[in-house]
Amino acid sequence: MTGNANTKQDKASILLIYTGGTIGMIQNAETGALESFNFQHLKEHVPELKRLGYNVSVYQFEPPMDSSDMGPEGWQKIVGIIADNYSSYDGFVILHGTDTMSYTASALSFMLENLGKPVIFTGSQLPIGMLRTDGKENLITAIEIAAAKENGQPIVPEVCIFFENTLLRANRTRKVNADNFNAFRSYNYPPLAKVGVHIKYDTAQIYYPELRKPLKPHYLLDRNITILKIFPGMSPHVIESILQAPGLKGVVMETFGSGNAPREAWFFRLLKDAVARGLVIVNITQCVAGCVEMHRYETGQHLMDAGVVSGYDSTTESAVVKLMFLFGHGLSPDEVKEHMNCSLIGEITISDPTKQQS
């Protein structure tokens, strides 16, 4: 579908939430230093917004946050703002630093249950106040997408990241480039829209909730999660001390290829002991694309025998926040494993549910 956003007469209402990041910076004319600008004066800096003809309200984080400082409290704050304003707006645009945008956007996809309106994250690599900025384009198109409707219904009722001409499902994204404007990728799920002269939505890939249930915001998260990236030559002491960390509940273990790891006896024993103590260890591939298939090689099989669960084709970002979310809601290790074994909101692909792994 080539979607056209609402016409001027529709006067879509969009809430723009500026959390921080490069996009909100301008260059001080005298000193040349980058400083945050006041988004209440957004239309002075981006006069093009007036031509869109939407009602754009702004909520600005005070002070704006570099996304390296963003975490569960920031995610809860954004969820709260969306929940409080849900009925008053047609869509939401979140301006966020690019560095941890995939974590925040993935977290929101789980925290905003029954979402029926667009929540579009964007940011930029160059400040909006700079001549060659990518921020204006990203901002304007993100607002258009958040306002886009077909037959009175939002075209993209999902949490997404829009960046450099591509709209991606949030919980499938990762930041892949620190320099290029084309900074985000979704290797295991196709784009929801491509933007050129027109915005071309791929509605077959977009998630449409079947029943219009009221939004159910969730705020509970458990931080006792870690990422363990395996590599040749790992030290037993280091791995042991990670798995023995007090309070640790969940581990996203990044393995080789289709989910393989060294077959050393000490490693197997440490994993098995950790699982026996109630830890949930999720196997994610270190490759940028593809899926974990622990049945495929003996080196993956022994992880299954140790009680490690498959993360399928999940991104690390999505698996981390999904574990935070599930443990945050007080689920037992077995219940968490069960939920890791199914797609809650399109974050993993399970092509044949009978082949689910445990």
Which amino acid is present at 55?
N
How far apart, in Å, are the Cα atoms of 8 and each of 4, 17, 156, 206? 11, 22, 19, 25
113: number of CA atoms within 13 Å, CB side? 9
| Nearest-CB residue for ligand ASP | 97
Q: Which is nearer to ligand ASP, 101 or 271 (CB)?
A: 101
Ramachandran bin of 180, using left for φ above 0, alpha for ψ from -120 to 50, beta for the remaining angles? beta
Judged by CB under 6 A, the residue of 6, 60, 67, 104 near ligand ASP is 67
Q: Which is nearer to ligand ASP, 38 or 180 (CB)?
A: 180
Least CB distance from residue 66 to ligand ASP, whole Å? 4
Residue 64 interacting with ligand ASP (CB under 6 A): no
Residue 66 interacting with ligand ASP (CB under 6 A): yes
188, 311 in Cβ contact below 8 A? Answer: no
> Is 299 among the catalytic positions?
no
Least CB distance from residue 28 to ligand ASP, whole Å? 18
Instruction: Tell me which stretch binds ligand ASP (CB under 6 A): 66-74, 287-295, 299-307, 338-346.
Output: 66-74
Number of residues that bind ligand ASP (CB under 6 A): 10
Judged by CB under 6 A, the residue of 74, 118, 123, 157 near ligand ASP is 123
DSSP line for 40-72: GGHHHH-THHHHHT-EEEEEE-SS---GGG--H
Least CB distance from residue 73 to ligand ASP, whole Å? 16
Q: Which is nearer to ligand ASP, 6 or 67 (CB)?
A: 67
The β-bridge partners of 168 are 161
Least CB distance from residue 98 to ligand ASP, whole Å? 3
319, 106 in Cβ contact below 8 A? Answer: no
* In 102-235, beta strands by DSSP E: 112-113, 119-122, 149-150, 153-154, 159-163, 166-169, 174-175, 184-185, 193-195, 199-201, 216-217, 225-229
- Residue list 82-121, contact with ligand ASP (CB under 6 A): 97-99
- Residue list 245-264, contact with ligand ASP (CB under 6 A): none
Q: Which is nearer to ligand ASP, 21 or 328 (CB)?
A: 21
Instruction: Tell me which stretch binds ligand ASP (CB under 6 A): 35-43, 61-69, 234-242, 253-261.
Output: 61-69
Least CB distance from residue 122 to ligand ASP, whole Å? 11
Residues in the chain: 358
Residue 191 interacting with ligand ASP (CB under 6 A): no
* First-to-final CA distance of the chain: 39
Instruction: Tell me which stretch binds ligand ASP (CB under 6 A): 17-25, 35-43, 207-215, 333-341.
Output: 17-25
* H helical segments located in the chain: 42-45, 48-52, 72-85, 101-111, 135-147, 236-243, 265-276, 298-305, 316-328, 333-340
121, 106 in Cβ contact below 8 A? Answer: no
Core vs surface per residue 56-69: b (16+ CB within 10 A) or e: bebbbbeebbebee
Q: Given 2, 7, 22, 315, which residue is catalytic?
A: 22
118, 157 in Cβ contact below 8 A? Answer: yes
Least CB distance from residue 218 to ligand ASP, whole Å? 24
Judged by CB under 6 A, the residue of 6, 22, 258, 357 near ligand ASP is 22
Report the interface residues with ligand ASP, using CB under 6 A: 20-22, 66-68, 97-99, 123
Catalytic residue numbers, as ranges: 22
